[in-house]
Amino acid sequence: MKSVVALGALFLGLGSFGLAAETPPKAPASDSQNQGPAVVKKTSPVRVWADQIGYRTKGPKMLVVAGTAELPKDLVFELCDAKTNAAVWSSKDNANAVLPFKNGQKDGESGDFIAHLDLSAFQKPGRYYVAYDAGGQKTRSFMFNIADDVYREAGLAAWKAFYYQRADCEKPEKYAGVWNHGPAFLGPNQAKEAKIYKWNGHPHFEPVGKDILDDTPRDVRGAWWDAGDFNKYTGNTVRCHNDLLLAYLLVATSTKDKDLNIPESGNGAADLLDEVRYGTEYLIRICDKDGAAFGKVHEQGGCPPDAVKNPVQITEISGAATMARAAALALAAVVWKESKFDDAFAKKCQDEAKRSWDLMVQKPYPWTPDAKDPKKEAYTGYWFALDHNQMRATAAACFFRLTGESAYDQIVKDYWATVKSGAPGEQGEVYTLIWMYMNAPKADPAIVTAMKKLITDQADQMVQWTGENKGYGMGIRGFWWGSNALIGRTGAMGVMAAELTSDPAAKKKYLEASEQYVHYLFGRNALGKCWLTNLKSLGAENSIMVMFHSWVGKDGDKASLKYIGEGPDKIGPFPGMIVGGPNGNMKRYVEGLNWTQSPWEFNEPDITYQSPCLQLLGYFAYKGKDM
């Protein structure tokens, strides 16, 4: 194994994730050789939490020192070389490097006593840990790296995770490594010939029902399994798809072919866009002859996925799903047309988007009004519907950008008049709408100014929640189910604001604030968890190794056992997937799969957690070295 401190090849790269992977990822060689102090635990009386992926060479480097009780004033911290264990820096010689948070008072959010350890002045690339003596116990932090391009491999791993989550395909070893499987959901009555079923009223994750409403075979291959279950909800697929296209647009000029080692690598298009296209092609298929979209495709979970022989089921068509399809495909038409990778595909996306749009004009929403709220549709088993008016405005913004027709412009203006700025990151699909409209050739300057102000206002609020203003260096409005998605969305506000400004100082301010959310996801948080799965080979000693998932985290399934946790005969879950995270407060998290503890509320992944985080992590993966 190459040294993790080699510049230009900091890690083993994506070879660990599928280029030639025949064994599970291993920790960097220097880690296994290390005989240093005992590693920090969440129960340690004093804990130093670091970003386990690392810090930019010339960037800010804040670590968090957390204590159960008031921190001793005589604590000394040493930065040690991970290979030699030699101290290369000491807080004794840097009196201003340790800053007690709130003058030593308890942090209300975490319940910890906190100090910020600032290593920004140390700028020698390498692999390190922080050692300290707490209560007579010599302890070290998790290791971390310092490098110019420190985020690249982990950010690409988060993108590659979508390949592992693909539905209805084979994942050969040459692309998937040890997380390979045979052709899944491609048998009789499965994804190539699925049928419409009547919803039986059961929860979203269960089969649609037993009664076939229409036995016409339909091809619904593609996209990604929604979460730990193998369902494909049109609303969530569209939300994820649109997030990913925005994530791509934020870094488009930096991406290239062969970044991810996926089956499409080598076709001349950016791999990031190829991965999104796997979802776009599904959205083209997921409709009837009139362009009406089905709300949900149910696939039964199982390990390995190719062992599942159950029929694939479709729910009835839905007005909400149809408008969402129009918005997603109109957005795809813009991206493919302007990228110039595939003009024919861009036209197909635009034509399909218009087909759904025209149907909604002929048959206004809601198609089947809900008895309790006639402005909404009655449920037919589709779940996770997106806001109809928001999707309509997004589609209109895209059509306006494509055609310049004033009717679409007016729809956007009418919708925008109803929009009020909210908390940072909490306005979901509005950000995609903004990005589409403000770059339209004929966009109204006043509307564009207002849209930019919404983003910069939220980014300015986000800046106030970061750095020395927060115990763990960043903040969100609350830690609830799927909190890591909000971490990603909040951090992404600074990325978007940075792309909108021509002021170098403002750009630096926004990106350094966004970077605090990167640090949180990579381990500088109240539990010391890197919230991405199985990144030990990239240096994350405490990444997620148990994930609630029908394939790689199915409790009680012998075939799934090797993917759960660490130890002999274990390979862990596939790498780079982001789980939901703390739920209730910064420290409330369930690590196991015991159903009595509702693990799905904590350690289940979701494509709509992953996609907003990629707007943040993807940006730093591609542009972090240039900051």
What are the DSSP calls for 97-117, one per residue?
GEEEGGGGPBPTTT--EEEEE
**Residues of the chain where predicted confidence (pLDDT) is lower than 50:** 1-23
Q: Tell me how far CA of residue 78 lies from CA of 10, 99, 117, 132, 526, in angstroms.
A: 23, 15, 11, 6, 21
Write out pLDDT tens, residues 309-331.
Answer: 999 999 999 999 999 999 999 99
User: Which bin fits 268, alpha (ψ -120 to 50), beta or left (φ > 0)?
Assistant: left
Q: Which residue has the tokens 């405005």?
A: 393
- The answer to whether residues 313 and 297 touch, using CB atoms and an 8 Å cutoff, is yes
Q: Which domains does the chain have, with CATH numbers?
A: 1-150+465-627 (no CATH), 166-386 (1.50.10.10)
Quick one: which H or E segment has residue 155?
helix 152-164
Q: Residue 35: its pLDDT value, please?
A: 66
What is the pTM for the complete model shown? Answer: 0.95
- The answer to whether residues 179 and 196 touch, using CB atoms and an 8 Å cutoff, is no
Q: Which residue has the tokens 């991405």?
A: 532
Tokens of 315: 């729910």
Question: Dihedrals φ, ψ of 297, to 5°?
Answer: -120, 125
How many C-beta neighbours within 10 Å does residue 340 have? 9
- Exposed, middle or buried, 42 (CB in 10 Å: 0-12/13-18/19+)? middle
Quick one: which H or E segment has residue 284?
helix 271-285
Q: Which residues of 517-551 are buried (b: 16+ CB within 10 A; e: fewer)?
A: bbbbbbbbbbbbbbbbbbbbbbbbbbbbbbbbbbb
Pairing of strands 543-544, 232-233: unpaired
- The answer to whether residues 381 and 199 touch, using CB atoms and an 8 Å cutoff, is yes
User: Which bin fits 168, alpha (ψ -120 to 50), beta or left (φ > 0)?
Assistant: left
Write out pLDDT tens, residues 207-252.
Answer: 999 999 999 999 999 999 999 999 999 999 999 999 999 999 999 9
Q: Residue 34: its pLDDT value, please?
A: 66
Question: Dihedrals φ, ψ of 336, to 5°?
Answer: -70, -35
3-state secondary structure of 524: coil
Q: Which of 119, 156, 144 is CA-nearest to residue 31?
A: 144
Round the CA-based radius of gyration of the chain to a whole number and report it.
Answer: 24
Quick one: which H or E segment has residue 315?
none
Strand order in the sheet with 313-314: 212-218, 194-197, 313-314, 296-298, 232-233
Question: Dihedrals φ, ψ of 26, to 5°?
Answer: -115, 160
Question: Dihedrals φ, ψ of 623, to 5°?
Answer: -115, -5
Q: Residue 95: its pLDDT value, please?
A: 86
